[in-house]
Amino acid sequence: MTDATLSSAASAAPVTERKSKSLLEADSHTRRRNAAETRFRFYGIGAVLIGLFFLVALLWAILSNGLSAFTQTSIPIDLPLDKAAIESAEKSIVKTSKYNAMIGAALEKKLADAHIETSMSEKDLMKILSSGAASTVRDFVLANPDKYGTTVPFQLLASSRVDGYLKGRVTRAALANDKNLDAAHLDIVDAMMKAGIIAKTFNWNFVFGADASDSRPEQAGIGVSMLGSLYMMLVVLVLSLPIGVAASIYLEEFAPKNRWTDIIEVNIANLAAVPSIVFGILGLAAFIQFAHLPQSAPIVGGLVLTLMTLPTIIISTRAALKAVPPSIRSAALGIGASKMQSVFHHVLPLAMPGILTGTIIGLAQALGETAPLLLIGMVGFIASNYPDGVADGFFSPNSAMPAQIYEWAKRADPAFYERAWGGIIILLVVLMSMNILAILLRRKFERRW
């Protein structure tokens, strides 16, 4: 560099700018730039607010549509169990119709006692009650023969239309084209409401009960499919935790850096991003077509979800192992422990909180997964019975929580939508508890080296 270029350059740019302005007043260019800065900041705030708005909208939709699933309308009816009537009912071919007649009579009496006048026939009147009322009574009667001759108080479910009317879901206008119920029924319901002989109570049956057929949404519950999900999660936990931890230990601590290890690593990263429906296809082809495992069984669902969850667990376990400082390993090796001993005695226990956190989050993901379950037949199946025993729980057909929700969403009667939203509330509460557990675990055991 020569002095000549230096001085000529020095005179070129800076000198023209030397007339320095006061710092105390912003020039117009700076004002424009600051305006752009403010705008940009508002875009950011706007984006965050949009995201939060969607969250609120989603939660509002869930709660406003789903909370009503947790109450159910029922009518307390005192039913005299006449031995002769029961015996004749049991002898007839359509047994429930005789029971219906008994219940109908009791209902009429109840209305008369409350001074509600109606010209409706007994059969027509029964439409206020769930069509499952007769079998509820019959099941009780068969289970309790010693109650013959006494009068037993029953809480009989109202039909889903009546329930919907009291919850504001069914309007009088909507009933115009409904063959099940008409405005006259609603007048009676209003009168019963006033007389206090119909009431909404907490719906334990929804939480713990079994699914019901298409025509009886008021009886549908999510309990059995919750059990199905539980069995699936047991399978996932028992398989994916040991396999995932073993695989991570190998990859993180023992694997030589070679092409084979590289392939495994790339493979795991890609598996984590494979669409879940593809795992469903794998489950269908490998476990059902090839290995002849029973369709719709939690064991198959559990196996599919295990394969899906493994990459997640491996990734988080490896992160936990990586976070254990190398000095711990050196310390163990330095006093003569073998590599295996240093890992199993020192590294693994220290990484355990991180591994458990990752596992819980993986399980939560698996619990909410639906698509693969559709392909292995866990939908379209009515989970109407609790499994008998543990083996049955794993191997006999069942539904799962998200599959049950999907099933309800696909049914024609809108009364099931309420159940679907309600099911979502239960699902989200379970997921939230799992995540909170994971956070608490992390907080409690978080270690700074």
> Contacts with another protein in 59-78 (CB under 8 A)?
61-62, 65
192 vs 367, beta carbon nearer another protein: 367
Q: Binding marks (x or -) toward another protein, 203..242, rule CB under 8 A?
A: ---------------------------------------x
To another protein, the closest distance from the beta carbon of 344 in angstroms equals 8
From 85-93, 130-138, 226-234, 260-268, give the range in contact with another protein by CB under 8 A: 260-268
Tell me the site size for another protein, rule CB under 8 A. 105
To another protein, the closest distance from the beta carbon of 41 in angstroms equals 6
263 vs 331, beta carbon nearer another protein: 263
Pick out residues in 91-150 that bind another protein (CB under 8 A): none
To another protein, the closest distance from the beta carbon of 370 in angstroms equals 4
From 3-11, 69-77, 138-146, 225-233, give the range in contact with another protein by CB under 8 A: 3-11
Angle at 406 between CA 402 and CA 410, to 5 degrees: 170
CA 72, 75, 78, 83 torsion-angle sign: negative
Pick out residues in 13-32 that bind another protein (CB under 8 A): 13-14, 17-18, 20, 22-27, 29-30
- 417 makes contact with another protein (CB under 8 A): yes
From 96-104, 199-207, 220-228, 366-374, give the range in contact with another protein by CB under 8 A: 366-374
- 285 makes contact with another protein (CB under 8 A): yes
CA 370, 373, 374, 377 torsion-angle sign: negative
From 122-130, 149-157, 170-178, 377-385, give the range in contact with another protein by CB under 8 A: 377-385
- 412 makes contact with another protein (CB under 8 A): no
What CA–CA distance (Å, rounded) separates 166 from 199? 9
To another protein, the closest distance from the beta carbon of 301 in angstroms equals 14
Is residue 310 within 8 A of residue 374, CB to CB? The reply is: no
CA Rg, the chain, in Å?
Answer: 33
- 320 makes contact with another protein (CB under 8 A): no
129 has which bridge partners?
Answer: 158
Determine which residue in the list 180, 267, 327, 433 makes contact with another protein, applying CB under 8 A. Answer: 267
Angle at 73 between CA 155 and CA 227, to 5 degrees: 80
14 vs 196, beta carbon nearer another protein: 14
80 vs 242, beta carbon nearer another protein: 242
Determine which residue in the list 174, 277, 323, 331 makes contact with another protein, applying CB under 8 A. Answer: 277
Determine which residue in the list 133, 137, 299, 427 makes contact with another protein, applying CB under 8 A. Answer: 427
- 12 makes contact with another protein (CB under 8 A): yes
154 has which bridge partners?
Answer: 77
Is residue 225 within 8 A of residue 399, CB to CB? The reply is: yes
- 293 makes contact with another protein (CB under 8 A): no
151 vs 338, beta carbon nearer another protein: 338
- 46 makes contact with another protein (CB under 8 A): yes
What CA–CA distance (Å, rounded) separates 73 from 206? 12
52 vs 112, beta carbon nearer another protein: 52
